[in-house]
Structure 1
Amino acid sequence: MGQCYGKTIPTSENHGCTTTITVTDGGDRHSQTPPRNGTPSVKNTPSRSSAASSPWPSPYPFGVGDATPAGVSPSPSRSTPRRFFKRPFPPPSPAKHIRSSLRKLGAHGKKPPREGTIPEEAATTVAEGAEPIHNALDKNFGYNKNFGAKFELGKEVGRGHFGHTCYAKARRGELKDIPLAVKIISKAKMTTAISIEDVRREVKILKALSGHKHLVRYYDACEDANNVYIIMELCEGGELLDRILSKGGRYTEEEAKLIVVQILSVVSFCHLQGVVHRDLKPENFLFTSRNEDADMKLIDFGLSDFIKPDERLNDIVGSAYYVAPEVLHRSYSVEADIWSIGVITYILLCGSRPFWARTESGIFRSVLRADPNFEDMPWPSISPHAKDFVKRLLNKDYRKRMTAAQALTHPWLRSESHPIPFDILIYKLVNSYVHATPFKRAALKALSKALTEDELLYLRAQFMLLEPGDDGRVSLDNFRKALAYNATDAMQVSRVPDILHMMSPLAYRKLDFDEFCAAAISTYQLEALENWEQIAFTAFEHFEQEGNRVISVEELARELNVGQTAHYMLRDWMKSDGKLSLLGYTKFLHGLTLRSSNTRQR
């Protein structure tokens, strides 16, 4: 496929090409012949809203241990079966609209999810004799219109659904001797206002996200009457997918680490800027050269978007094999990218996909309810740290996944050779902490005292990035400077600095490292650890000694911001002496949700 910056669709020529390598039960590796474009890109009608106000709620119940869509019978196996292809077969079509697959998932009388706007494939349908809708669209982007005078196109190096990519060279100027790639997007295919905005946003994101080592470099954008031209650096080393295949479908752990560190580095940078990629897959990582040690670059921001700190997205986009469960539930944020990285890492280590099926609806069903297979070869020979790393990225509860910055401190990747980037999650957690009640802060302080050195390593790295003063403490000014130091233009668009205004109470206090740990830990992430029960028990012992006081059900309800209907549940959290029990302590750390309340009532 070469250097293709567009999304791919299957054609009659590529149905029989190889996209994955699987390993038989006996450990023999076989090159198979599923789709060359084996990661079908899917895009539902885009619509944005916050989770709280979304007019398109999730069509499926979602919670820990409850990821099966309504109307879908329980799977006889909770683990994705290994697949051994006997013959070539066409992949699920990336051009096929995802609504039909979701309609199958919501069968047995269930209505498909509501759409926010007119679907793209229906947008060109007009009354007989009327002018096509897209003729009235404004396709003037305001980009330079002298592309032909500035650049000379070479041969095509890649083709996708919305455009193709060519070699190019500048006729003059500072780019004259720099190898270039030009992504050419046809205006004729921009049939809706949404598709036009997608192109405009892709250019805006590429332009704003400047300067990272593993991000494809953007140079310019031009247009004429027929096309939009996005000029970028040329990456001549091919796709990560091609290298996976050339290695027989499996990397060694050391080789995989080098790849995963680069992916996490650039994705953590994007997330800090408030950009979610939404289409992370091996095809979208290109090597700068054919050298074995060449750097990788992240490309194709055609499905990417800016996201505000507390925003949830609800449009279903991405590639079926890499899509996160919460995307199918229509409420997600940057954690969806982390899931995709987990899928990529799984493929690197064993050569097969963790979630597999012959159809889109089958893939989605597997993503929602099946567990990855860690039993068959080669997993028994892979290190426990590597397996733990993948499992903590492929947790179906997005709240329990590591962030990209956290993943770089995981024991499997831990090294002094790569820097630990600043994590935007720190701002969100500290913001919640400074607005919490004294009782909640006492509970979090007790939890922080139960952390092991492994968990503290990430927190210590983040604390040092804030550059504490001579007194060993940090204030709001430290957070402000750290954000400014890492900022690009994208951060302003996604309004990430707004979180500093919410942290205003920190202007009148400082945090030492112990209190910073209490402020910056996530109970949900700790729950994903194998030793969570021991951590919770140790934390509760500290809480009993220092913070667990007599509290009435009414006061506890006010702490949790719930009404009288939840009082019967809160009483189960209390001991006979009026203090929280161990169960109550762990539940209190989470807070009370409407779903947990409804479940109890049933």
Structure 2
Amino acid sequence: MGHCCSKQASVSVVNNTDHLAAGDQSSTSHGLPAGPGAGGSHSGKNTPAYSFTASPFQSPLPAGVAPSPARTPGRTPGRKFRWPLPPPSPAKPIMPIMAALLRRQGKAPRPKDGPIPEEQNGEEGERERALDKSFGYAKNFGAKFEVGKEVGRGHFGHTCWAKGKKGELKGQPVAVKIISKAKMTTAISIEDVRREVKILKALSGHKNLVKFYDAFEDANNVYIVMELCEGGELLDRILSRGGRYKEEDAKNIVVQILSVVAFCHLQGVVHRDLKPENFLFTTRDEDAPMKVIDFGLSDFTQPDQRLNDIVGSAYYVAPEVLHRSYSMEADLWSIGVITYILLCGSRPFWARTESGIFRSVLRADPNFDDSPWPEVSPEAKDFVKRLLNKDHRKRMTAVQALTHPWLRDESRPVPLDISMYKLVKSYVRATPLKRAAQKALSKAITEDGLIYLQAQFRLLDPKHGYVTLENFKTALTRNATDAMRESRVPDILKLMEPLAYKKMDFEEFCAAAISPHQLETLEGWENIANTAFEYFDREGNRAISVEELAQEMNLGPTAYPLLNDWIRSSDGKLSFLGYTKFLHGVTIRSSNSRHR
């Protein structure tokens, strides 16, 4: 379907299925066709397919200039673009909000949406006919549900209102996502639908996750039956409020998003298409809860696995996705974009074309100077900046974001953070010198950082002030769903085996569960680093040769000249520079290598 990304290759942007997991009746009442979602997108881990849908927001154009397809209101269909990207361009503001609202109400003309068909030769046609489109789902959909009006349409299917005719859902209104088997032209598109159903079925129990009821099929379609959410999209609420939320109201929205994303990440599921269109309100009440929908681009991700396929929606895609090496942190970038829009009504990254948007994501910095940012609280700005950090290692996790000063609420339970497991795993398997460096760093962490660490330690249910491997196992099991087993998250416990023979108190837990990369983003990083080095120099620093240091960091002889500068000539111990670099790690590239 798509082509591998290279200088000469044309990259094919493929389309998604209907994005509405549950009916948004405003779409039909406003005369707007539902945009493409993700049910039939190409999202296999090693697949060179690319799926992008643009935000319905626009930027202003001079009079008489036709809109670019990238700025078509609603969801923009896939198209081909060239790689590498064109020259840089600054990010632009969102279009005037009233214009957007008029378009969504059907009072302004909009260009016709439609997918770009892909060429299919005779050989490919033969392969399509040979595809097995049997999913093994129940075949009695018509006997169980009465289908009503259509509430949304995408390129691969549509979503309808329906009512149960018998069984547990008798008389209950539901949303049915109907995906056409005729549009499943590759094994990948079939697997995408299968995986979407598997993820919806495996994830269960979170109040901000759309409920999955069942899946059916017949000769022509797959039917995914889900909870009906009739309150409209988050996007509609943003527009109805004049384009932005008051800060206190934005907090309520962001907390719900972070809460469900933290839950998905703990289960080993990365959503990969978080945007305002993919959050629906259950009712039209002002305080109605939100539900995340559309897991068509989502995937299971194993511990320490990096995904490499470029999928998502252009305005919300993280830099590392474009670099083809990413994991759960990409979802946090998307949440940062959503929060930026909620607070100021503008996109942080904008361009006239998809390739221009990607270039802006990779190179431009968000604008925090123009109105209304001077009136936004410092805590809110810091929150957004720590999510829109282009270095994914420095971004907050969803759980850390929930404990950030802007959102902190002592009465709200803090969920278990899967990233804490990954950090502790690395710590217990590290060398004594690396653990000593981490312990020194933990002596200097701020009060804000301690709040997150204390919450995570309590969730492990320590006995007499200590935790063991059994505590980590029990906490993970307590939060497990079928998705966690599918993504093999429990495998991380096998790599924490050194803990089976020791106890870890809170002081050592802090040393294990902190990230130097994240601490470096704090305004007081220099003071933190200096304080930590003083402790390290006093308690853990030792004489070390260049060869030993290179071995500690898994570096070869080519790194020796660099490492010489990290060791003090006076006593052969790490200098302050050496200590901070040692904490962070370093990658040495050969002189003839270049980043692609």
The letter for the 1-side match of 2:506 is F
**Could you say if the C-alpha distance between residues 437 and 131 of structure 1 is closer, same or farther in structure 2, counting changes exceeding 3 Å?**
closer
1:561 aligns with 2:542: no
| Distance in 2 (alpha carbons) for counterparts of 1:101 and 1:465 | 48
Q: Which residue of 2 aligns with 1:203?
A: 197
Spell out the pairing of 1:378-527 with structure 2 (5 A cutoff).
Answer: 378-469=372-463, 471-527=464-520
Secondary structure in 2 aligned to 1:167? strand
In structure 2, what is the equivalent of residue 362 of structure 1? 356
What is the CA–CA distance in structure 2 between the aligned matches of 1:217 and 1:42, rounded to whole Å?
Answer: 16
What is the distance in 2 between the residues matched to 1:39 and 1:199? Answer: 14
Query: Over residues 379-420 of structure 1, what are the superposed CA-to-partner deviations in whole Å (9 max), with x where a residue is unaligned?
Result: 000000000000000000001000000000000000124221
The aligned residue for residue 148 of structure 1 is: 142
Give the direction of change, closer, same or farther, for the CA distance of 1:567–1:535 in structure 2 (3 Å limit). Answer: same
Shift of 1:553: 1.3
**In the alignment, what sits opposite 2:105?**
none
**Aligned partners of 2:557 and 2:165: how far apart in 1?**
73
Say if 2:35 and 2:154, in contact at 8 Å, map to a contact too.
no
The alignment status of 1:125 with 2:121, answered yes or no, reads yes
1:228 to 204, 222, 232: 222
Structure 2 equivalent of residue 574 of structure 1 = 567
2:320 aligned partner, one-letter code: E
**Is contact 1:280–1:322 with CA below 8 Å preserved after alignment?**
yes
2:524 counterpart residue number: 531
The letter of the residue matching 2:121 is T
Q: Any idea what the Cα deviations from partners look like across 1:32-87, whole Å, max 9, x if unmatched?
A: xxx998999899964525xxxxx99xxxxxxxxxxxxxxxxxxxxxxxxx954456
Is 1:5–1:284's contact at 8 Å kept on the other side of the alignment?
A: no
Question: For 1:89, which of 53, 57, 67 is the aligned residue?
Answer: 67
Pairwise CA distance, 1:596 = 9.2
Aligned-partner residue type, residue 535 of structure 1 = I
Letter in 2 for 1:293: D
CA distance in 1, matches of 2:592, 2:249: 48
Q: 1: CA distance between counterparts of 2:254 and 2:385?
A: 14
CA separation of 1:385/1:233 partners in 2, compared to 1, >3 Å: closer, same or farther?
A: same
Question: 1:527 corresponds to which letter in structure 2?
Answer: E
Letter in 1 for 2:260: V
Query: What are the superposed Cα offsets for residues 241-277 of structure 1, whole Å, 9 maximum, x if unpaired?
Result: 0000000001001000000000000000000000000
In structure 2, C-alpha distance between the alignment counterparts of 1:320 and 1:578, rounded to whole Å:
50
Q: CA deviation at 1:527?
A: 1.0
* Cα distance in 2, alignment partners of residues 202 and 83 from structure 1: 33
Partner SS state of residue 274, structure 2: coil
CA 1:524–1:37 in 2, change beyond 3 Å: closer, same or farther? farther
Q: Which amino acid aligns with 2:184?
A: M
Do structure 1's residue 589 and structure 2's residue 583 form an aligned pair?
Answer: yes
CA RMSD of aligned residues (A): 2.8
User: 1:125 offset after TM fit, Å?
Assistant: 2.5
CA distance in 2, matches of 1:327, 1:570: 31
Question: Pick from 303, 310, 314: which aligns with 2:304?
Answer: 310
Q: What CA distance in whole angstroms lies between the structure 2 residues aligned with 1:514 and 1:126?
A: 66
3-state SS in 2 of match to 1:141:
coil
Which of 45, 50, 59 does residue 48 from structure 1 map onto? 45
**CA–CA distance in structure 2, aligned partners of residues 584 and 554 of structure 1:** 14
Name the counterpart of 1:191: 185
Q: Which runs of structure 2 are paired with 1:243-254 in the superposition (5 Å)? A: 243-254=237-248
Q: Share of identical aligned residues, percent?
A: 71
**What residue identity is the alignment partner of 1:516?**
F
Q: Which residue of 2 aligns with 1:275?
A: 269
CA distance in 2, matches of 1:365, 1:421: 35
Task: Specify the alignment match of 2:254 in structure 1.
Answer: 260
Q: In 1, distance between residues paired with 2:341 and 2:33?
A: 15
Report the Cα distance in structure 2 between the residues aligned to 1:121 and 1:5, rounded to whole angstroms: 14
Residues 39, 320 of structure 1: 8 Å contact kept: no
Q: How far 1:103 moved relative to its partner?
A: 4.2
- On the 8 A contact 1:183/1:229 being kept in 2, the answer is yes
Structure 2 counterpart of 1:540, from 530, 533, 539: 533
Q: Does 1:293 align with 2:287?
A: yes
SS at match of 2:452: helix
Contact 1:5/1:165, CA 8 A, preserved across alignment: no
1-structure distance, mates of 2:476, 2:222: 34
Q: CA deviation at 1:594?
A: 2.4
Quickly say closer, same or farther: Cα 1:508–1:105, change in 2 above 3 A: farther
User: In structure 2, do the counterparts of structure 1 residues 37 and 169 end up closer, same or farther at CA, with 3 Å as the change threshold?
Assistant: closer
- The answer to whether the 8 Å contact 1:39/1:319 transfers is no
Q: 1:362 to 1:37 in 2, by over 3 A?
A: farther
Counting matched residue pairs gives 529
- Checking the alignment, whether the CA contact within 8 Å between 2:17 and 2:156 is kept in structure 1 is no
Q: Which amino acid aligns with 1:95?
A: P
Asked whether the 8 Å contact 2:39–2:193 carries over to 1, the reply is: no
What is the one-letter code of the residue matched to 1:89? P
CA 1:240 to 1:279, structure 2 compared with 1: closer, same or farther past 3 Å?
Answer: same
Question: Where in structure 1 are there 5+ consecutive unaligned residues?
Answer: 9-13, 19-34, 50-54, 57-81, 108-119
Give me the whole-angstrom Cα distance separating, in 1, the residues matched to 2:37 and 2:577: 44
Q: TM-score scaled to structure 1, two decimals?
A: 0.83
> Aligned partners of 1:237 and 1:426: how far apart in 2?
36
- Contact 1:42-1:96 within 8 A present in 2 as well: no
Tell me, yes or no, if the aligned pair for 2:233 and 2:277 is still in contact at 8 Å: yes
Contact 2:38 2:297 in 1 (8 A): no
CA contact (8 A) 2:280 2:291 kept: yes
Q: Distance in 2 between matches of 1:543 and 1:104?
A: 45
User: Which letter does structure 1 place at the counterpart of 2:490?
Assistant: P
Distance 1:473 1:546 in 2: 23
Q: Which moved more, 1:526-535 or 1:505-514?
A: 526-535
Alignment partner, residue 139 of structure 1: 133
1:545 shift after superposition:
1.1
- Secondary structure at the aligned position of 1:389 is classed as helix
1:42 and 1:598 map into 2 onto residues whose CA distance is 42
2-structure distance, mates of 1:174, 1:426? 40
- Is the partner of 1:426 in helix, strand or coil? helix
1:339 and 2:333 are equivalent in the alignment: yes
Q: Contact 1:40–1:91 (CA<8 Å) still a contact in 2?
A: no
Matched position secondary structure for 2:420 = helix
| Cα 1:545–1:161 shift into 2, 3 Å | same
Task: Assess, with a 3 A threshold, how the Cα gap between structure 1 residues 123 and 425 changes in structure 2: closer, same or farther.
Answer: farther
**Structure 2 segments unaligned to the other structure (5+ residues):** 1-15, 21-25, 49-57, 89-115
Deviations for 1:358-386, whole angstroms, at most 9, x for unmatched residues? Answer: 11111111001000010110000000000
C-alpha spacing 1:457/1:403, structure 2 compared with 1 (3 Å):
same
C-alpha separation in 2, matches of 1:95 and 1:464: 47
Deviation at 1:479, TM superposition (A): 0.2
2:101 alignment partner in structure 1:
none
Mapping for residues 22-37 of structure 1, pairs under 5 Å: none
Alignment correspondent of 1:214 = 208
Closer, same or farther in 2 for the Cα pair 1:281/1:131, shift >3 Å? closer
Contact map agreement 1:42 1:316 (CA 8 A) in 2:
no
Distance 1:495 1:40 in 2: 27
Residue 123 of structure 1: CA displacement? Answer: 7.1
Question: Residues 96, 441 of structure 1: CA spacing in aligned structure 2 closer, same or farther, 3 A cutoff?
Answer: same
Aligned mate of 1:326, from 304, 308, 320: 320
Counterpart position of 2:54? none
> TM-score with structure 2 length normalisation?
0.84
Alignment partners' CA distance in 2, 1:534 and 1:598: 37
